Structure 1
């Protein structure tokens, strides 16, 4: 270990920024803490407006050559990045588990393989990206996707590398250069990604990583006139600040924000399946934006559903996320734990009843919680908690279920449990959500559009939608028989 590196479970991680193909240290640092036990992992370079400007300048300088690089060569390099990720799945998994507390077995088996898949998918999609030419009064219309320019990508702490590469991969495939700003609570795998990308042959300046607090470097990135795209995943208040910052330059935004998604359980549903779906909402200690945190259960089966849910939830093991048998790990930070508990205590004071949980287990872990006797207009029903806290309400008619499901300011996702195909079609057509799952949860395909409605976001990414965002679309209209002969 040197002054600018640290060792995490035997893996060496550079703590400096990655700017213009080289490591850059800041004068000051911030402390990275493991949520597993509250121990200090190390000191990380704390970016300022100076490093932010340098990263954008590096991205701008690298853009012309990368934008002119052939699709085939860009795709080849992205596949090489995926190869590098796959070679280091174990390293990436243990570092990210230490840094953000998510389950090690999930990182090994699902999350890190998905990181590699992000690069492969968008590399392959790039090679088949096209729009069929069409005619207008004998003229030929040809649609093309032109690289837009330097892109600032601001990513969250709950699935750091997977969500970062969900943005990085299509931005690079599109021919853009990137400044990645990872969350300060989980910065380490972004640093490893910089190493992997460099080893894969990604040219200097095409990917830059700047660490630090959003309050200190965010505006310098999002208000910069040379930035042509901004993609952000996080909270609604931060999104508002980013939008205000970007407005001066009319910089296009993609915003994936919070959720307060419903799980609708009808009396005809397979209750065992419905309960399995419900308990799954505790995944990642409830730190999932798509989580169906509001159970809406038909009155006639509510008691039985609750009984089975309590029995199933009791089988979950909460503890050290590095252990193979653990189902629920810690929450990311003591500050987040305090926020979660404050939500729950206010709800209990207002008359809610904790069927299970309702309290901290210690300074790092919050007990899986289910609250009933909650009013539709209450804070606990309307606001995103982002922890292992669920609510249960009942309904008597399909119309009431839809009304309750749509009655928040969010619209990210919804989950529906029913055995009636016609009902599923009717209800899903009325739900305000970017993604609806019927008798399943968290089935994601990168070619599908992803994003939220209302306060859950702006825009859609995935498949061609990602290229639509990260590119400037151009339509070229060609007149018939207008060519000069060179014979």
Structure 2
């Protein structure tokens, strides 16, 4: 391990440091791992691969920086976070180019909304923390006030899809609440998070406030969540990984929040606008289906199945698989050869077990997989019950509202739900009845950053968003003073 000038890789014309960002400086490791571009399979960079030593250095840097950062108060921290947000806005093109090369999300989406959402995250949480009003009340002869105390160093572990935005979604409330952070991005797409460290330094965040440690989950991630100086753990990823992280957090009695997978229902009732519903359903193939909130289980009232399918196939036929840097492309490649094998394996097993492949169901070259629709033989089929995280949807029918809700709630997941209906009464009834962290009616992916966000069941623990996130990164204390005893 060294702290000399870190190597730099040039990715999409942008210089990206490949070392960790710890205590305000670049730190290299004796070992590296390779990140490849899903676009063409070409190696992009050799990335420093952290072990316990580098993780310990980062956590101790966060621990040492914590008292001064916490003491700044919400307004002092907000000034730093607003500067960071401004720098993100000024670097959208660079960040989008790097992230497109590294994980193959559509470049136009990154430019138009995804990267800018990172800036919005920092501004939103900075302002929410400043606006927080401590709760005051009188009870049993005492005056009471609830106060937020910054919890301490936080471990933030983020997934490979939309890595920059999701890293800011978690680090923003942690930093605004007064925590310091060690961020561990996913090993399949670490490059834009390396640039986040650069921007934090440029924004003047004190050394050690935001640290970025790169590495393999079983090594760096495991060491990070088990470190005794970590006081909060926030994770987005798979349910299986969350089990391991939760055990480590429990050993140190550390609060843990997890946003996990989904097998989300997309319900279409006979009274719905079928053109809008079918277009939105076909849109679930965007980003090659690598979106945890996507509605992957199409549940359609049987009386409108045929007209819905006619519209759905027409909308899906309009998709263009191609280079995500091309504005004509609508479906990008999958992230990694291992993930392609996983997605293809689900479809191959479904076909072998008698499930009907209505369309797609094949690799199309490189890391591309054709948009696929499967009609299962029964609701217990693996393809219905387990998350695929690729361009694979299933379609089932229901006869009435009760059956629709029963099917919607029939998996172990509960992250999101999408409902298409023209009835306000049905929108309210079904919206209340589905078990999910969010339910959209006649729309999708509209987010209010102050609203609670998370899943139920195997889709997660805890809530992010607004004051829910700021409370998570705080220890709440009640100050209680006997009335008349002080002046």
Aligned to 2:125: 122
Q: Which residue of 1 aligns with 2:85?
A: 82
Q: 1:13 aligns with which of 16, 22, 34?
A: 16
Q: Which residue of 1 aligns with 2:475?
A: 472
Residue 249 (structure 2) aligns with: 246
Deviations 1:290-327 (A, max 9, x none): 11000000000011111110011001111000011111
Query: What is the aligned partner in structure 2 of residue 289 from structure 1?
Result: 292
Do the aligned partners of 1:8 and 1:41 also contact (CA within 8 Å) in 2? Answer: yes
Which of the numbers 395, 399, 402 marks the counterpart of 1:396? 399
With normalisation by structure 2, the TM-score equals 0.98
Q: CA RMSD in A?
A: 1.0
The aligned counterpart of 2:196 is: 193
* Partner of residue 419 from structure 2, selected from 413, 416, 421: 416
By how many angstroms is 1:228 displaced? 0.3
Q: Write out per-residue CA displacement over residues 30-89 of structure 1, whole angstroms, 9 at most, x where no aligned residue.
A: 001000010000100011111011110000000000010121110010000001101110
Q: Is the 8 A contact 1:337 1:363 kept in 2?
A: no
2:71 matches 1:68: yes
Q: Secondary structure at the match of 1:227?
A: coil
1:181-330 counterparts in 2 under 5 A? Answer: 181-330=184-333
Return the TM-score normalized by structure 1: 0.98
What residue is the counterpart of 1:161 in the other structure?
164
Aligned counterpart for 2:445 among listed residues 442, 446, 451: 442
Q: Which stretch shifts more, 347-356 or 28-37? A: 347-356
**5+ residue gaps, structure 2:** none
Unmatched 5+ residue regions in structure 1?
Answer: none
Is the 2:30–2:48 Cα contact (8 Å) retained in structure 1? yes
- Shift in Å at residue 175 of structure 1? 0.3
SS of residue in 2 equivalent to 1:293: strand
Q: What's the CA shift for 1:356?
A: 1.7
Q: Partners in 1 of 2:328 and 2:349 — Cα distance?
A: 33
Q: Is 1:331–2:334 an aligned residue pair?
A: yes
2:356–2:374 contact (8 Å) kept in structure 1: yes
- Deviation at residue 3 of structure 1 after TM alignment: 6.9
Aligned to 2:373: 370
Contact 1:374–1:381 (CA under 8 A) maintained in structure 2:
no
Q: Secondary structure at the match of 1:35?
A: coil
Q: Secondary structure at the match of 2:295?
A: coil
- TM-superposed CA distance for 1:374, in Å, is 3.5
- Give, in whole Å, the separation in 2 of the partners of 1:338 and 1:304: 34
Cα deviation for residue 363 of structure 1 reads 2.7
Match of 1:174 among 170, 177, 181: 177
From 352, 361, 364, the equivalent of 2:355 is 352
Question: Corresponding residue for 1:31?
Answer: 34
Separation of aligned partners in 1, 2:86 and 2:427: 41
Counterpart CA distance in 2 for 1:374 and 1:150 is 49
Structure 1 stretches of at least 4 aligned residues deviating more than 2 Å after TM superposition: none
Partner of 1:463: 466
How many Å separate the matches in 2 of 1:126 and 1:173? 6
